[in-house]
Amino acid sequence: MTNISAVDYADVQGIIRFGYARLTEASFLLLRIRDAAAARAWLATAPISTAVALTQAPATALQIAFTREGLEALKIADEVMAGFSAEFLSGMAGDDNRSRRLGDVGTNSPESWKWGGPGYVPHLVVMLYAQEGRLDSWAQTVKASDWDTAFEVLDSLPTSNLDGIEPFGFTDGISQPTIDWKREREIHGDQLEYGNVVALGEFLLGYPNEYGKYTDRPLLDETDAASSILPEAEDVPEKRDLGRNGSYLVFRQLQQDVSGFWRFINQQAQSNPQERQKLAASMVGRTQEGTPLVPICDAPIPGVNTREAPMNQFTYDADQSGARCAFGAHVRRANPRNADLPRGSNGLISRLLRTLGFGTKGYRDDVIASTRFHRLLRRGREYGPGLSPEDAIEMTGPDTSQHGIHFVCLNANISRQFEFLQGSWLMSTKFDGLTEESDSLLGNRQSISGCLRTDTFSLAGATGVRGRMVGLPQFVTVRGGAYFFLPGIRALKYLAADRG
C-alpha cells in the first residue's frame, strides 16, 4: 500500500514554493567542479534555503542544481545515474534532433551559445538571491573557504530588477499553476474543464503526477551505504528515493532584441501609437499591463485565486475562432487552457464521440493538447537595462546593451512538460491549424522541411480582415542553456557524501 505522507518542506529547495519576488537582486553562477573533494565539502554545509515558510521574509536565499556532467564529476555511480531521465542525461544541447525540436538551430544553435554548448556545459548552477543592496555580501558569505579550490566559474549571470516587466515591456509572471501541496487533488478519468490546480508530482519528484503515477527517478537499494540518508520511495518502500522532493530545472538564456521588436511593430503600425500597442498585445496575448484579450470568466476556474490573480481568470472558450486573441499569440501557445476532450455535453455518447475524434471542430479538437500534462512553474529573472518602447523605436544604430530573460522553469518530466511546450506548442508551425508561423516572440524564423517560411503571424480579427503580418525578424536568440537536477536537501547530502 502506498504510504501517503505530508510534504516535508524542510527537504524541498525553496524555489519550488517561492518565487523570491522580494529578493530583487539575483545572480546565477555557472560552475565547473575543479576538485571533487573540496566541492563535496562545500556542498555538505552550503546554507540552502528550504521551502519552509518563515515568519519573517528572508533577506537572502541560495539554491543549487546539477547537470549530468556535474553529477559525474561528483562520481555518482553509473547505476544511480541511469535512473535519471533520458533528456536530462542527454542534456539540452546533447542531440541534434533535440536542438531542432527546441528551435535551437541557426543563430540559436548550441555551437554559438556563450555557455551550455559543446565543451561549455556547467557542472552546477548556484542561484543567489538577496534584498536590494545585499547581493555582494551574500555572495561573499556563500563563497566560504573551500570555494576557490572547489570551483571554477564558467560564467556569472547578473540579473536586473525591472519591477515584474520583461524587457519587451510586458508584465510577466502573472500565470502560474497552483500546486496541490496538500495532495487533495483526486484524478479520475478525463478532466472536462480547464483547471489551474496541478498535481504535486508534476513539479516534485516522488509524488503522483497528473496521470496518478510516479515519474521515473533514481531509486536506490539500501545496500548503497550513503542512501540511508534518503527518504523511502512512497511507491516502492524497499527503495530509497534520490528524486523525492527534487525537480528538474530548465535554464535558457534568452536574449531579446527590444529595439528590433518595437521598430518592426512600429513600422507595421505605420507609427500609430494605438495601433502599435494593439499589434504588440496581439502578439503576446495580453496588453502590456497584463490584461488578457479575452473576457474574464464569471465562473471561477479551480485553482485561480481571483483576488491575487484576477487577470488569470479566463479560458479561450469564449474565443474559439481566435477573433479576440490570435491562436499564435505567445500566451495562447504557451497554455491553450484546454481540458482533456473537445467541448460537448457530459453525456456518455457525447464523450465517446469526442474521444473518438467526432466532436465539433474547434481548437479543442486536438486531444493531446490537454494542458494539465504540460504545465511549467516559471522562475526566470530579467537581465539588462530597461528600455521603453518609445526609446527603442527612436534608436537608430544597433542596441549594444544586452536585454533578456534568464528563463528558468521547474518540472518533473522535461520531455512531457518543457520540451513538449517548447517544441509542439511554441515552435510548432502547425499549432492549432496555423501554417508558416511559430511563436510570435520566440520563433527563429528558419525554414523547415515542408514549411519554407515560418516568419508570419496571423492576427486576431472577427472577420479575418486584419490579415497577417509577414517577414517577422527573429526577436529572441538563445545564448545558453542546460538541464539541471535540483535535488531535495537530503538528496544533496547524498550527492555530497564522500566517494573517495
The residues that touch ligand HEM, with contacts defined as CB under 6 A, are 166, 168, 170, 172-175, 254, 256, 284, 286, 330-331, 334-335, 376, 405, 407, 418, 421-422, 426, 441-442, 476
Cα–Cα distance measured from residue 279 to residue 384, given in angstroms and rounded to the nearest whole number: 25
By C-beta, is 172 or 241 nearer to ligand HEM? 172
Angle, alpha carbons 494-244-253 (nearest 5°)? 85
By C-beta, is 233 or 377 nearer to ligand HEM? 377
With contact defined as beta carbons under 8 Å apart, do 103 and 442 qualify?
Answer: yes
By C-beta, is 326 or 492 nearer to ligand HEM? 326
For the record, the C-alpha cell of 171 comes out as: 508584465
For the record, the C-alpha cell of 218 comes out as: 533514481
| Strand partners of residue 499 | none
By C-beta, is 350 or 415 nearer to ligand HEM? 415
Minimum distance of ligand HEM from residue 41's CB (angstroms): 36
Minimum distance of ligand HEM from residue 417's CB (angstroms): 9
Minimum distance of ligand HEM from residue 244's CB (angstroms): 25
Minimum distance of ligand HEM from residue 236's CB (angstroms): 32
By C-beta, is 71 or 421 nearer to ligand HEM? 421
Minimum distance of ligand HEM from residue 165's CB (angstroms): 9
Minimum distance of ligand HEM from residue 201's CB (angstroms): 19
Minimum distance of ligand HEM from residue 117's CB (angstroms): 18
With contact defined as beta carbons under 8 Å apart, do 247 and 375 qualify?
Answer: no
By C-beta, is 61 or 198 nearer to ligand HEM? 198
By C-beta, is 330 or 364 nearer to ligand HEM? 330
Angle between the 273-284 and 258-268 helix axes, to the nearest 10 degrees?
120
Minimum distance of ligand HEM from residue 67's CB (angstroms): 19
With contact defined as beta carbons under 8 Å apart, do 199 and 187 qualify?
Answer: yes
Nearest 5°: phi and psi at 310? -60, -30
By C-beta, is 354 or 479 nearer to ligand HEM? 479
